[in-house]
Structure 1
Amino acid sequence: MLKIAIIVASLVLLASCSTTSQIAASGRSGLAPSGKLRVGINIGNMLLTAKDPVSGQYGGIAFDLARELGRWAGVPIEIVTFDSAGKLADGVRAGAWDVAFLGIEPERAEGISFSPAYAEIESTYLVPAGSPLHTVTDVDRDGVRIAISARSAYDLVLSRTLRRARLERVPGVEGVPGTEGAYRLFIEEHLDALAGLKPVLMAFADKLPGSRILDGHISTVQQAIGVPKDRAASVQLLREFVEDIKANGLVARAIEKNGVRGVSVAPRTTLQ
């Protein structure tokens, strides 16, 4: 856990960009037992969060949606930030948050119940100039070393599926999120590939002449909102919220407002 910032949700969004309903008091108590909604966010995700170079404050898609969730629930929010997805997921065991914005993954589902996805992001590989690798399936070879942010959604996928290539995991540390650390390792150690979210890798590729994004993808990361498993009753409320913000265009507006490439609104699902 790096920083905690108290944000009063009622002050942050214009009425024209908000959802149209709020939940009953019983629902609020389930989502936020203390009366304040603690929202976990991975600031190592460079697509869903961004740091203002002047103020040093964080914002981005996840922050915008977190504030709207607080407004919808009718409670103030407390943003609890983590520098990697793995640490954010671990926070559920420590009771560090009430809800969290993170990718859906079977391993995480052991302790976390998820809403439907609100956004989707492809993950793939970046390779250096002159690499003999051309597609995602080419990577799983003896001797291939892959830089990767430890316990990211795509790390969990590759941990299950790779047979020959070796993952060089980089944990997030304060001031250097896991994604940035993996990029540094890829450069400094001359590794064969860097795994990551495609839009982030596209930005890295702009800095590396001759580097390429491989054809194909590792997985499509489904970004959602999670709650501790013992509060699974709150999932239906989050389902309603997520389907509402997809339907009314709020997710699309947040993506456009933050100028993020490669993130798409997840398909709507049928409410049960």
Structure 2
Amino acid sequence: MSSPITPAIVSALAPTGTLRASINLGNPILANEDAASGDPAGVSVDLARALAERLSVPIGLVVFEKAAASVDAVRNEQADIGFFAIDPARSEGLRFTAPYVLIEGSYLVPAASPIRRNEQVDQGDVRIAVGTGSAYDLFLTREIKEAQIERVQGAKGVFESLHAGQVEVAAGIRQVLEAEAGRTPGLRLLPGRFMVIQQAMGTPASRGAEAAAALAAFVEEMKASGFVAEALARHRIQGASVAPAAVQA
């Protein structure tokens, strides 16, 4: 962080004496279970540990399988920080940093589908499966005018709906959809993307402006120092990019 870590900042970000970090395992770009230990691992976990070290407090990981639950944990102050896609629908009760990673959101369809481009998805006879409360759910709820949005539980539910013919389109993280297409014959990823997901860190708004500014400065330092890029490489993450530096007001 560019500013000194004062006792007030430590108290605001880790009021229990432990930095409780909300980790969403539903986004494998940022976190998943280590194959050997079963412990959470990934870019968001690395950032949480680095912040705890900076604050000179222990780290406590609060793990969830869905983004919405992870967001609620921070909003309800069951966790001190979290890692979320920036979205206006999530702003109440939270303060976000600028993004540290950018991720593409894409569509997956059956190979025989007449849909060839992203622009063709928003039609009255199309049903789109999304994970409830995900960044895709929030974005498409605002943007889709004609198609029907089917909200299911996580990526597994999205794929099950597509395989069962209950929907015509699956929406999600491009890399996750690519992996499913590689595992399952008869699926096709639409070219390009329908959205760019801005992954940021967040803290309860009640922690105050000074704590939010300190967290924002931490994220900027982690991007500028190469920490985020190195973490992406170390965890062999492809398709995600380090977000550019925040524009200073």
Structure 2 counterpart SS, 1:260: coil
| Runs of 4+ residues deviating >6 angstroms | 19-22
Selected match of 1:179 from 147, 155, 163: 155
Structure 1 counterpart SS, 2:114: coil
Q: Describe how 1:106-185 pairs up with structure 2 within 5 A.
A: 106-171=88-153, 178-185=154-161
CA contact (8 A) 1:22 1:72 kept: no
CA contact (8 A) 1:36 1:76 kept: yes
Q: Where does residue 240 of structure 1 map in the other structure?
A: 217
CA shift for structure 1 position 25: 1.9
Amino acid at match of 1:247: A
How much is the aligned-residue C-alpha RMSD, in angstroms?
Answer: 1.8
| Residue 207 (structure 2) pairs with residue 231 (structure 1) | yes
| Residue 243 (structure 2) pairs with residue 261 (structure 1) | no
TM-score by length of 1: 0.86
CA contact (8 A) 1:22 1:73 kept: no
CA shift for structure 1 position 232: 3.5
Structure 2, gaps ≥5 residues long: none
Post-superposition CA distance 1:146-197 (Å, at most 9, x none)? 11111101110000111121111113xxxxxx12222222213352111001
CA contact (8 A) 1:128 1:212 kept: yes
Post-superposition CA distance 1:51-103 (Å, at most 9, x none)? 23343222111111111111112211111111111111222343211111111
**Shift in CA distance, 189/96, structure 1 to aligned 2, threshold 3 Å:** farther
In structure 2, distance between residues paired with 1:208 and 1:129: 11
| Residue 183 (structure 2) pairs with residue 207 (structure 1) | yes
Tell me the number of residue pairs that the alignment of Structure 1 and Structure 2 aligns. 248
Amino acid at match of 1:244: E
Structure 2 counterpart SS, 1:253: helix
Q: What is the percent sequence identity of the aligned residues?
A: 41
Structure 1, gaps ≥5 residues long: 1-18, 172-177
Structure 2 counterpart SS, 1:65: helix
In structure 2, distance between residues paired with 1:229 and 1:103: 16
CA contact (8 A) 1:128 1:208 kept: no
TM-score by length of 2: 0.93
Q: Where does residue 189 of structure 1 map in the other structure?
A: 165
In structure 2, distance between residues paired with 1:48 and 1:25: 30
Q: Where does residue 99 of structure 1 map in the other structure?
A: 81
CA shift for structure 1 position 22: 6.5
Post-superposition CA distance 1:179-236 (Å, at most 9, x none)? 2222222213352111001111111111123422213322111101111121242110
In structure 1, distance between residues paired with 2:81 and 2:32: 20
CA contact (8 A) 2:23 2:64 kept: yes
In structure 2, distance between residues paired with 1:207 and 1:136: 22
In structure 2, distance between residues paired with 1:198 and 1:99: 26
Q: Where does residue 16 of structure 1 map in the other structure?
A: none
Q: Where does residue 174 of structure 1 map in the other structure?
A: none
Q: Where does residue 12 of structure 1 map in the other structure?
A: none
**Shift in CA distance, 22/42, structure 1 to aligned 2, threshold 3 Å:** farther
Structure 2 counterpart SS, 1:206: helix
In structure 2, distance between residues paired with 1:112 and 1:79: 19
Structure 1 counterpart SS, 2:219: helix
In structure 1, distance between residues paired with 2:160 and 2:234: 29
Q: Where does residue 44 of structure 2 map in the other structure?
A: 62
